[in-house]
A and B are shown apart, each in its own frame.
Chain A
Amino acid sequence: MSEFLPPSVQAYLPDIIQLFYLLATGVFIVGIRRLGSPATARSGNQLAALGMFIGVIVTLFDQHIISFQFIIIGIVVGSAIGVFAAKKVEMTAMPEMVAIFNGFGGGASALVAWGEFARQTPEMFGTQDLITIGLSILIGSITFTGSFVAFGKLKGFISGNPVTFPGQNIFNLLLTLGALVLIGWFTVEPTSQLAFWLIFGLALLLGILTVMPIGGADMPVVISLLNSYSGIAASMAGFVINNNLLIISGALVGAAGLILTNVMCNAMNRSLSSVLFGAFGGGDSSTDSGGPAADTDKTVRETTPNDVALQCAYADKVIITPGYGLAVAQAQHVLKEVADKLEKRGVEVKYGIHPVAGRMPGHMNVLLAEADVPYDQLYDMEQINPEFKSTDVVLIIGANDVVNPAAKTQSDSPIYGMPILNVDEAKRTIIFKRSLSPGFAGIDNALFYEETNQMFFGDAKDTLQKLSQALSEV
């Protein structure tokens, strides 16, 4: 498109493009900063989109870009798919959506490196170019297949349980080393088709094999980590085509993903390595927990909709702690209805949200926001924990491991040491749950058998609807 510009401008075009890239970089940084606060987040996201738009438009003026048909077709097709997916996805399915978008981003970065390599004869590349091409393909491909496996696990196409085989960690380690060795070989002998394709194949396989052994409960960590990878992959693609905008934006995303990964790990009191290599969260881990799930000497107290309605209606303060069960049942709107009815009666209602409730960081906040719950009614774990003592009723909707007091008391429990919501300090807890079955971590919940606890069995949406009805009749 550069031919539309006057010759005087054309002479300076490469510099002008770079200056616009600098502008886009600044816009990204401000955008990400604004994403950090609820009041400015929406404008932050829109700014980031603007930065992207600037970046793409000025790139079209690059003198090396001559043919536009592929670009137009690609953008039209990609936009159509992206718009369709973004409009159609349910808020409950947000973790899957992010995982799959992430996969496409990583895949695109690998393809950029491949395309750049295919553009010229191998002899024209220097060692440095070849190293970055190899790394870009490696990280991009791992992100691609890894994200799709994560998507499958979240969707339930692939078992949420860790899929393991003996010696898996060593095998994966060897594969990673093998991939690096192959990049070395590729650097020395870029004409070797075999080395190139082996890197590609191995990377795709690694993505699958590294995510397969990770249990469903650890998915928030994996999604954060893959998000970080996709940023690094974009950065690597920037190394390949020597583009600072890609390098910087990719690095920003890579850092953001790493921080979120770290936050998630802290919230679960786990180290990143134990998430990646520990194969935690499967059914078999229940054998070494506090005892079999159906201990006969323990009793649970079942309750009825009317009883719950009475207790809540005459309470001063009710805290709601949601978990993944709320998302599965799509019960966020009914929950809001229940909370509204309680507030009308003068009951103080707050939401206590554990950092790893749901299947991705902040998942519950998005769901509740969808149901019009104002965000200043949502409290983080640290904020809400001192309040349970003065709370009359805690409604635990589809949450399990994050309220399990075993994390504080049973030193042999796999979740021992994980910070939890101290719901057991409240005068009454009511668990809305389908059955007594253990959660994703595969651990029996000591809270079920507490004297102050009652169970309200059923699907979160059904039980909340019954409660809402009963509340109207109180």
Chain B
Amino acid sequence: MSGLIFNLFIFVLASFVGFELITKVPPTLHTPLMSGANAISGITIIGAVVVAGQVDSAIAQWIGLAAIIFATINVVGGFMVTDRMLEMFKKKNKPQKEDTNE
């Protein structure tokens, strides 16, 4: 089996896993889910690290640098902003200590 076809198998099977994972998410969480998923799509940072870390070509290194910057913005910003959002989600029956008039 050639590499492309093998990778295609993985891609399709992983997509099915993705469908199964997401189908039952309550609307309350749609924004954080999207933003968290978005951060995960920054996984391309690994590709960027591979390209920027090789020494075969200086041009490729510079392209890799740009890719790392882009991907890191996506990853770091994405996870942080998702965490900021989810931190705010609270359930009512938990005792709230803070003053409400803040």
Interface residues of A (CB under 8 A from B): 28-29, 31-33, 35-39, 41-42, 44-46, 48-49, 51-52, 55-56, 59-60, 62, 64-68, 70-71, 73-75, 77-79, 81-83, 85-87, 89, 91, 94, 97-98, 101-102, 104-105, 107-109, 111-112, 114-116, 118-120, 128, 131-132, 223-224, 227, 230-231, 233-235, 237-260, 263, 337, 340, 353, 355, 360-363, 365-366, 369-370, 372, 374-378, 380
One of A101, A260, A378 near B73 (C-beta < 8 A): A101
* Residue in A closest to B78 when the chains form the complex, CB atoms: A101
CB-CB contacts below 8 Å: B38-70 with A: 38-57, 59-70
**Residues in B whose Cβ lies below 8 Å from that of A71:** 49, 52-53, 68
* Residue in A closest to B69 when the chains form the complex, CB atoms: A78
Report how far A120 CA is from B14 CA in the complex, Å.
Answer: 30
A362-B31, A366-B88 given; A238·B68 CB < 8 A: no
**Residues in A whose Cβ lies below 8 Å from that of B25:** 35-36
A97 touching B81, Cβ below 8 Å:
yes
**Residues in B whose Cβ lies below 8 Å from that of A235:** 11, 14
What 10 pairs across the A-B complex have the smallest Cβ distances?
Answer: A78-B72, A255-B18, A74-B68, A362-B30, A65-B53, A82-B77, A82-B76, A374-B92, A361-B30, A115-B51
**Residues in B whose Cβ lies below 8 Å from that of A224:** 34
* Residue in A closest to B42 when the chains form the complex, CB atoms: A105
Report how far A8 CA is from B22 CA in the complex, Å.
Answer: 42
One of A94, A108, A353, A376 near B42 (C-beta < 8 A): A108
A340 to chain B, nearest CB (A): 6
Main secondary structure of the interface of A (DSSP, over half): helix
CB-CB contacts below 8 Å: B57-102 with A: 57, 59-93, 96, 98, 100-101
**Residues in A whose Cβ lies below 8 Å from that of B29:** 35-38, 41, 362, 365
A68-B53, A128-B3, A234-B44 given; A79·B32 CB < 8 A: no
B59 touching A118, Cβ below 8 Å:
yes
* Residue in A closest to B50 when the chains form the complex, CB atoms: A241
Report how far A245 CA is from B61 CA in the complex, Å.
Answer: 22
Further contacts, 11 of them, CB under 8 A, given A66-B54, A101-B74, A115-B60: A56-B45, A71-B53, A85-B81, A104-B74, A116-B60, A118-B63, A255-B14, A255-B19, A365-B29, A375-B91, A378-B28
B71 touching A108, Cβ below 8 Å:
yes
One of A68, A253, A377 near B92 (C-beta < 8 A): A377
**Residues in B whose Cβ lies below 8 Å from that of A65:** 49-50, 53-54
B79 touching A105, Cβ below 8 Å:
no
Report how far A65 CA is from B91 CA in the complex, Å.
Answer: 47
One of A32, A109, A240, A243 near B40 (C-beta < 8 A): A32
A68-B53, A233-B44, A361-B30 given; A77·B69 CB < 8 A: yes
A41 touching B32, Cβ below 8 Å:
yes
One of A78, A89, A119, A260 near B33 (C-beta < 8 A): A260
